[in-house]
């Protein structure tokens, strides 16, 4: 039997290698090929963060990565770099590796360990090597696991959940404690979501032990493990960012829809996630990305058969001697994770069934793990293990083999389309202008003109270029725990420098949008700043105006302020053609906010023989009660109106337009003071200093 099991493990190694080669492609599998990782979101972030970490010196905490993000940088634990591998391969970099990746190797490891722990658990309960082999393939072919491997590498470590099951259900008491510590350490070095899952599973088993032995003193081991966890978190850099920065969209936004286990398709335009994972089943709309927990048709039939048999043989349940019997205290984690994943607002196809209000502080704490749909993974694995054991106990051996074998074949056929559609493609070697290679030679960093949230819209495309640059710092990054306050300060500092016509001479800027380009063109028209259009990006380079080509000059000259028509209402939306620097979004609602002390509106006024008047439809940030909450409106640095927003509740602003501004390109400056952010008011983690919400504007002829 031992020899058969050993052969199985070699089979698992072979399968993990073959699957990974198919999944990522033979060319992409080699450590030296990084092109397939560039141009996306999460896995591009993983590779770039690793590259910056590798090229930097060792720091403390050990995961500190300051060149990737600069002011908003923190640690590799927040950029999906799989710190375990980042540390190992950084040590190995003494052998002078050039740009390398380890993510294809990580996929192989995840596939192998998924099979390995599945087999060990099933074999421990059934004592059947062949049945364990069939069952392990079913647990490997779970779409919600494979989807993560293709889009979010660190979250592909589902074997950590299976390892927790193996410790809790299969190991003797003497071996458990050390293995729990090993597992906690591994999870912290892979992804914090797994650490949270492991602690809930561990606590459930500990509670069972406390109740059975009636010894409350056992709880000391939980305290020890918590202290150990925080110590390891400190060492590798989790506290380089505080908990508030980890709060994203909020508790319940990324939950498990009650149809999530049955929906084979994710409704999103992100990469190729919208492709179906089922050959047979159709899409169920609006179940969400993080709620994707499709089991596969084979596993769904396995579950349905188990429920049917369970209802028929309720009194003949799995014997108590079996480790994974259904009703025991240690299985409490299944209910915890189920309710945590659906949150206090369970829904079907995004239609809430009930909405239980919770206290704001509890809401904030729960929002640290806002992607609650992930907590359904342990529930799914428990149900699948239980179903496999139940089938084995309720059928004769040959029938249980035949049943699971048929289910496995059906599972393979069903999800084969998903594996094919989500496999990585071999990308052609894309040539970039040699212009980009000159930037690191002349500038110490490359920045964006709008430091957006942790999914900046230009990141995916620019990462193709950034991944091939060397020795240059950047703030064009993704970060799961972005410091909103620091990001806002970076934006405000840049706006101040632009308004004073002062920019850092050692910084290259990727221009975020047309409005920024127009304002920079206007404010830097009389100095030596160069503007270059390359690979669909505008780049601003201090002291390089003489190197602009005729095409660059022509394209820049053609970029002009948009002309507005008299009496026409212009709806104000974030990053529209009239906005320069100093604007921010309104959460997809009407209008956009001024942010910070200066915001600019850029436009060409209409021709007219009559006097013209500006009309603005606005709102103020009502939580700001500061007496010095002031608004000054200037046109090309000439003051036109002053309003104390702390004293006046206004909805409209109007002022006359001087004749000298008729049919001219003008820059309207909304200059504010006494601002305060929702974060400072303890309303939300939003650290933006909001000033005025501009909904719409128009120019009319004065009567």
Question: 330-386: per-residue pLDDT in tens?
Answer: 999 999 999 999 999 999 988 989 988 887 778 777 888 989 999 999 999 999 999
- Catalogue the long-range contacts made by 401-409 (C-beta closer than 8 Å, 24 or more residues apart): 401/130, 401/131, 401/134, 403/305, 404/131, 404/134, 404/135, 404/138, 404/302, 405/134, 407/138, 407/298, 407/299, 407/301, 407/302, 408/134, 408/137, 408/138, 408/141, 408/298, 409/298
Under 8 Å between Cβ of 159 and 145: no
Over residues 290-317, the mean pLDDT reads 88
Strand order from edge to edge, sheet including 638-644? 598-604, 665-673, 630-635, 638-644
On the question of pLDDT at 428 being above 70, the answer is no
**What's the confidence (pLDDT) of residue 430?**
67
Under 8 Å between Cβ of 325 and 317: yes
Q: How confident is the model at residue 482 (pLDDT cuts 50, 70, 90)?
A: confident
On the question of pLDDT at 663 being above 70, the answer is yes
Structure tokens belonging to residue 146: 């494979």
On the question of pLDDT at 322 being above 60, the answer is no
Measured from the Cβ of residue 625, the count of other Cβ atoms closer than 10 Å reads: 11
On the question of pLDDT at 261 being above 60, the answer is yes
Residue 448 to residues 234, 494, 535, 597, Cα–Cα distance (Å): 30, 10, 15, 19
Helix (H) or strand (E) holding 19: helix 2-24
Q: How many CA atoms lie within 13 A of 138 on its CB side?
A: 33
Partners of 620 in the β-ladder: 692
Angle between helices 173-188 and 192-213 (to 10 degrees): 160
Query: Which of 302-306, 482-486, 511-515, 592-596 comes out lowest in average pLDDT?
Result: 482-486
Q: Where along the chain do the CATH 2.60.120.260 domains lie?
A: 570-701
Q: How confident is the model at residue 83 (pLDDT cuts 50, 70, 90)?
A: very high
3 state SS of 579? strand
**What's the confidence (pLDDT) of residue 538?**
97
Under 8 Å between Cβ of 601 and 580: yes
CA angle 673, 675, 677 (to 5 degrees): 160
d(CA 165, CA 337): 14
CA angle 466, 468, 473 (to 5 degrees): 45
pLDDT tens by residue, 570-612: 999 999 999 999 999 998 899 999 999 999 999 999 998 888 9
Structure tokens belonging to residue 242: 């505080």
Kindly tell me the sign of the dihedral angle through the C-alpha atoms of 445, 451, 453, 455: negative
Show Cβ contacts of residue 29 under 8 Å, excluding neighbours closer than 6 positions.
Answer: 20, 21, 104
What is the residue-wise DSSP string for 624-682? ---TT-EEEEEETTEEEEEEETTT---SEEEEEE-GGGTTSEEEEEEEEES-B-TTTTT
Sole residue written with tokens 């495309």: 461
pLDDT tens by residue, 522-543: 999 889 999 999 999 999 999 9
Over residues 237-266, the mean pLDDT reads 85
Give φ, ψ of 288 to 5 degrees: 90, 155
3 state SS of 148? helix
Partners of 603 in the β-ladder: 666
Query: Which of 25-39, 185-199, 313-327, 427-441 comes out lowest in average pLDDT?
Result: 313-327
Under 8 Å between Cβ of 138 and 299: yes
**What's the confidence (pLDDT) of residue 3?**
65
On the question of pLDDT at 617 being above 80, the answer is yes
The one-character DSSP state at 319 is: P
The CATH number of the structural domain formed by 570-701 is 2.60.120.260
Over residues 483-502, the mean pLDDT reads 90
**What's the confidence (pLDDT) of residue 645?**
92
Give φ, ψ of 95 to 5 degrees: -85, 15
d(CA 506, CA 345): 50
**What's the confidence (pLDDT) of residue 6?**
79
d(CA 542, CA 528): 7
Q: What is the pTM of this model?
A: 0.93
- Average pLDDT value for the chain: 91
Q: How confident is the model at residue 273 (pLDDT cuts 50, 70, 90)?
A: low
Partners of 693 in the β-ladder: 593, 619
On the question of pLDDT at 553 being above 90, the answer is yes
On the question of pLDDT at 320 being above 50, the answer is no
Query: Which of 31-45, 242-256, 455-469, 551-565 comes out lowest in average pLDDT?
Result: 242-256
Under 8 Å between Cβ of 245 and 686: no
């Amino acid at each position: 039997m031992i020899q058969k099991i050993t052969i199985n493990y070699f089979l698992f190694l072979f399968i993990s290698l073959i699957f990974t080669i198919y999944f990522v492609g033979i060319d992409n599998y080699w450590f030296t090929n990084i092109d397939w990782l560039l141009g996306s979101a999460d896995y591009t972030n993983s590779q770039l963060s690793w590259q910056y970490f590798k090229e930097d010196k060792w720091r403390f905490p050990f995961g500190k990565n300051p060149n990737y993000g600069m002011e908003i940088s923190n640690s590799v634990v927040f950029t999906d770099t799989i710190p375990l591998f980042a540390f190992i391969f950084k040590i190995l970099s003494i052998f002078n590796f050039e740009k390398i990746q380890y993510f294809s190797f990580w996929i192989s490891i995840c596939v192998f360990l998924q099979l390995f722990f599945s087999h060990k658990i099933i074999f421990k309960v059934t004592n059947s090597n062949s049945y364990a082999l069939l069952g392990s393939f079913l647990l490997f072919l779970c779409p919600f696991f494979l989807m993560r491997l293709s889009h979010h590498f660190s979250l592909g470590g589902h074997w950590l959940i299976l390892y927790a099951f193996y410790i809790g259900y299969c190991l003797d008491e003497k071996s458990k404690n050390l293995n729990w510590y090993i597992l906690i350490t591994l999870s912290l070095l892979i992804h914090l979501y797994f650490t949270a899952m492991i602690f809930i599973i561990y606590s459930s088993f500990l509670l069972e032990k406390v109740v059975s032995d009636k010894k409350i003193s056992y709880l000391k081991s939980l305290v020890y493990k918590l202290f150990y966890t925080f110590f390891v978190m400190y060492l590798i850099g989790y506290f380089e960012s505080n908990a508030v920065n980890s709060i994203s969209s909020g508790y319940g936004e990324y939950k498990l829809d009650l149809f999530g286990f049955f929906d084979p398709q994710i409704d999103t335009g992100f990469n190729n996630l919208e492709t179906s994972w089922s050959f047979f089943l159709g899409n169920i709309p609006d179940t969400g990305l993080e709620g994707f927990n499709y089991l596969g048709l084979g596993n769904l039939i396995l579950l349905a058969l188990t429920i049917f048999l369970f209802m028929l043989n309720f009194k003949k349940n799995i014997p108590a001697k079996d480790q994974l019997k259904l009703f025991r205290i240690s299985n409490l984690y299944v209910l915890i994770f189920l309710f945590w994943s659906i949150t206090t607002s369970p829904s079907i196809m995004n239609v809430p069934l009930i909405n239980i209000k919770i206290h704001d502080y509890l809401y904030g704490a729960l929002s640290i793990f806002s992607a609650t749909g992930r907590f359904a993974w342990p529930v799914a694995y428990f149900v699948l293990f239980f179903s496999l054991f139940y089938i084995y106990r309720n059928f004769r051996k040959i029938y249980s083999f035949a049943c699971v074998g048929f289910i496995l074949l059906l599972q393979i056929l069903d999800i084969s389309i998903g594996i094919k559609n989500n496999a990585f493609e071999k990308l052609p070697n894309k040539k970039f202008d040699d212009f980009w290679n000159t930037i690191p030679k002349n500038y110490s960093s490359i920045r964006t003109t709008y430091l957006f949230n942790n999914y900046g819209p230009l990141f995916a495309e620019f990462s193709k270029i950034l991944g091939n640059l060397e020795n240059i710092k950047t703030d064009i990054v993704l970060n799961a725990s972005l410091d909103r306050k620091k990001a806002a300060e970076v934006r405000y500092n840049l706006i101040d420098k632009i308004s004073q016509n002062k920019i850092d001479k050692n910084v290259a800027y990727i221009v975020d949008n047309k409005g920024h380009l127009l304002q920079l063109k206007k404010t830097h028209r009389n100095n030596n700043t160069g503007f270059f259009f390359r690979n669909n990006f505008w780049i601003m380079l201090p002291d390089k105006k003489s190197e602009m080509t005729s095409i660059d000059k022509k394209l820049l000259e053609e970029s002009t302020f948009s002309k507005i028509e008299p009496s026409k209402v212009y709806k104000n939306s974030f990053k529209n053609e009239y906005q320069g620097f100093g604007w921010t979004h309104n959460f997809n609602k009407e209008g956009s906010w001024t942010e910070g002390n200066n915001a600019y509106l850029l436009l060409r006024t209409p021709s007219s023989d009559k006097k013209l008047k500006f009309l603005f439809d606005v709102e103020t940030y009502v939580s700001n009660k500061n007496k010095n909450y002031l608004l000054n409106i200037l046109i090309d640095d000439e003051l036109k109106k002053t309003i104390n927003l702390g004293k006046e509740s206004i909805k409209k602003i109007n002022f006359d337009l001087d004749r000298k501004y008729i049919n001219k390109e003008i820059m309207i400056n909304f200059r504010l003071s006494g601002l305060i952010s929702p974060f400072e008011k303890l309303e939300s983690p939003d650290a933006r200093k909001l000033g005025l919400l501009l909904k719409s504007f128009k120019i009319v002829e004065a009567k």
